[in-house]
């Protein structure tokens, strides 16, 4: 990874949503959905973004796809800054980045057959000539493991897993090189989850794709990712290669997430380690380290000063005053 140019370079990416106030009245405050987030994704790797609900993961995905306007920051993809592009130029480049959504029920237009859905993008972007279109749609469906007779059916005729495959086929139709998957399996039955994850890994190999995978489930992440970014209240609090993150996590929040893995009940995300359960509101984030109200190790400094992302090693970064800023970095 080192020495290579990043394929996607996200720099100080920020999205504040105004709350209260209308078009002519001033907002009463801001939801800091994404707050100065920076990270790189290198060609061919799989990076995961994990965090609790409301930490801003979906907003990051939508910012990268330019479905949401950033408040601040830049997104450089393959050397081109997407945030400064005009809509015309954007349309051609954004095709290279595609997204897979969480909800396989709302991500497909209920009034369109699989054929018309796929044919539309293929024709609009002149990816294939009209005569070869059926053949190409068959190829795409086979690629994602569906029967070719799925083509003339409507979304409601499929199961969740099959719909997710259709969503993947649609994303692949425009020949993307970076795939952002926002909780691609969290809406699916456990038995189907593994199938979809395996499909994603097969496709990565076959089509040389780069992945940014968003998940709140560290079990999913461990299985497929090369590196992990941990997000909390709009900020990245830890970044490390998957093995390192799971073997020697640094940030207390990461540790809390890890200790929650074996729990089958997904609602019990933050057990034992943490006294208070609920994450604070992103409208008025606590001063200092935003995790301090829930952190058993919090000091005076944590309450007043926002920690930067400290470098623990070449590949490992963590935003913690207590564990990352001290000389003995290998605590735990």
Partner 1 sequence: MFRKSYNPHSYWNTVWREFNKHRLSLFALIVIIVLGLIALLAPFIANDIPILLYKGGQLYIFPNVITYSDLQAENLYANFDRWQPSDGDWMVKPPIPHGPFRQNLEHSLQSPNRIHWLGTDDRGRDVLSRMIWGSRLSLSVGFVAVGIAVIIGIVLGSLAGYFGKWVDTLVLRFIELMLVIPTFFLIITVMAFLPPSIWTIMIVIGLTGWPGVARLVRGEFLKQRQMEYVLASQALGLNNTRIMFRHILPNAMGPVFVSATFGLAGAILMESGLSFLGFGVPPPAPSWGELLKQSQGYVDFAWWLVLFPGLAIFITVTAFNLVGEGLRDAMDPRLR
Ligand X SMILES: Nc1ncnc2c1ncn2[C@@H]1O[C@H](COP(=O)(O)OP(=O)(O)OP(=O)(O)O)[C@@H](O)[C@H]1O
State the binding partner of 31 from partner 1, Mg ion, ligand X, none, CB within 5 to 8 A by kind.
ligand X
- Answer for the pair 237, 253: CB distance below 8 angstroms, yes or no: yes
- What is d(CA 36, CA 39) in angstroms, rounded to the nearest whole number? 10
| Contact code string over 59-98 relative to ligand X, x by CB under 6 A | x---------------------------------------
Residue in 247, 269, 272 with CA at minimum distance from that of residue 260: 269
State the binding partner of 112 from ligand X, Mg ion, partner 1, none, CB within 5 to 8 A by kind.
partner 1
Closest CB 101 distance from Mg ion, rounded Å: 10
Describe the strand order of the beta sheet including 72-77 as a list of residue ranges: 29-41, 8-19, 72-77, 80-81
Choices 56-64, 119-127, 188-196, 243-251 (CB under 5 A): range interacting with Mg ion:
56-64
- What is d(CA 162, CA 104) in angstroms, rounded to the nearest whole number? 9
Burial of 227 (0-12, 13-18, 19+ CB in 10 A): buried
- What is d(CA 204, CA 144) in angstroms, rounded to the nearest whole number? 12
Interface with ligand X in residues 22-51 (CB under 6 A): 31, 33, 51
Decide if residue 254 touches Mg ion (CB under 5 A). no
What count of other Cβ atoms lies within 10 Å of the Cβ of residue 111? 9
Which chain residues interact with partner 1 by CB under 8 A?
23, 62, 65, 67, 91-92, 94-95, 97-99, 101-103, 106-113, 120-121, 124-125, 147, 152-154, 156-159, 162, 167, 170-171, 173-174
Decide if residue 290 touches ligand X (CB under 6 A). no
Decide if residue 17 touches ligand X (CB under 6 A). yes
Which is closer to ligand X, CB of 54 or CB of 104? 54
Which is closer to partner 1, CB of 150 or CB of 228? 150
- Answer for the pair 164, 196: CB distance below 8 angstroms, yes or no: yes
Task: Choose, by CB under 5 A, the member of 40, 48, 55, 58 that binds Mg ion.
Answer: 58
Q: How many residues bind ligand X (CB under 6 A)?
A: 13
Decide if residue 58 touches ligand X (CB under 6 A). yes
The H or E element spanning position 161 is helix 160-172
- What is d(CA 13, CA 70) in angstroms, rounded to the nearest whole number? 7
Decide if residue 53 touches ligand X (CB under 6 A). yes
């Amino acid at each position: 990874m080192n020495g290579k140019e990043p394929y996607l370079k996200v720099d100080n990416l920020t999205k504040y949503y105004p709350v209260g106030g209308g078009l002519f009245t001033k907002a009463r405050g801001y939801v800091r959905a994404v707050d100065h987030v920076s990270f790189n994704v290198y060609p061919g790797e799989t990076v995961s973004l994990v965090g609790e609900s409301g930490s801003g993961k979906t907003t990051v995905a939508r910012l990268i796809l330019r479905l949401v306007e950033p408040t601040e920051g830049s997104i450089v993809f393959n050397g081109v800054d997407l945030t400064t592009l005009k809509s015309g130029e954007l349309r051609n480049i954004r095709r290279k980045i595609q997204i897979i959504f969480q909800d396989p029920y709302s991500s497909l237009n209920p009034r369109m057959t699989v054929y018309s859905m796929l044919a539309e993008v293929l024709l609009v972007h002149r990816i294939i000539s009209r005569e070869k279109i059926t053949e190409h749609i068959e190829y795409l469906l086979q690629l994602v493991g569906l029967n070719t007779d799925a083509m003339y059916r409507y979304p409601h005729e499929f199961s969740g897993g099959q719909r997710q495959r259709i969503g993947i086929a649609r994303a692949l139709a425009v020949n993307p090189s970076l795939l952002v998957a926002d909780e691609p399996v969290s809406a699916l039955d456990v038995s189907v989850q593994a199938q979809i994850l395996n499909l994603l890994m097969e496709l990565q190999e076959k089509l040389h794709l780069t992945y940014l995978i968003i998940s709140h489930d560290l079990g999913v992440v461990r299985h497929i990712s090369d590196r992990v970014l941990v997000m909390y209240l709009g900020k990245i609090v830890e970044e490390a290669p998957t093995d390192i993150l799971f073997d020697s996590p640094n940030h207390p929040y990461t540790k809390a997430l890890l200790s929650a893995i074996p729990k089958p009940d997904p609602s019990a995300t933050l057990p034992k380690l943490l006294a208070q359960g609920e994450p604070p509101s992103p409208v008025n984030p606590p001063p200092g380290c935003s995790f301090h109200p829930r952190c058993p190790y919090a000091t005076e400094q944590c309450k007043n000063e926002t920690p930067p992302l400290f470098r623990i090693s070449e590949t490992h970064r963590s935003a913690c005053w207590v564990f990352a800023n001290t000389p003995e970095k290998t605590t735990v």
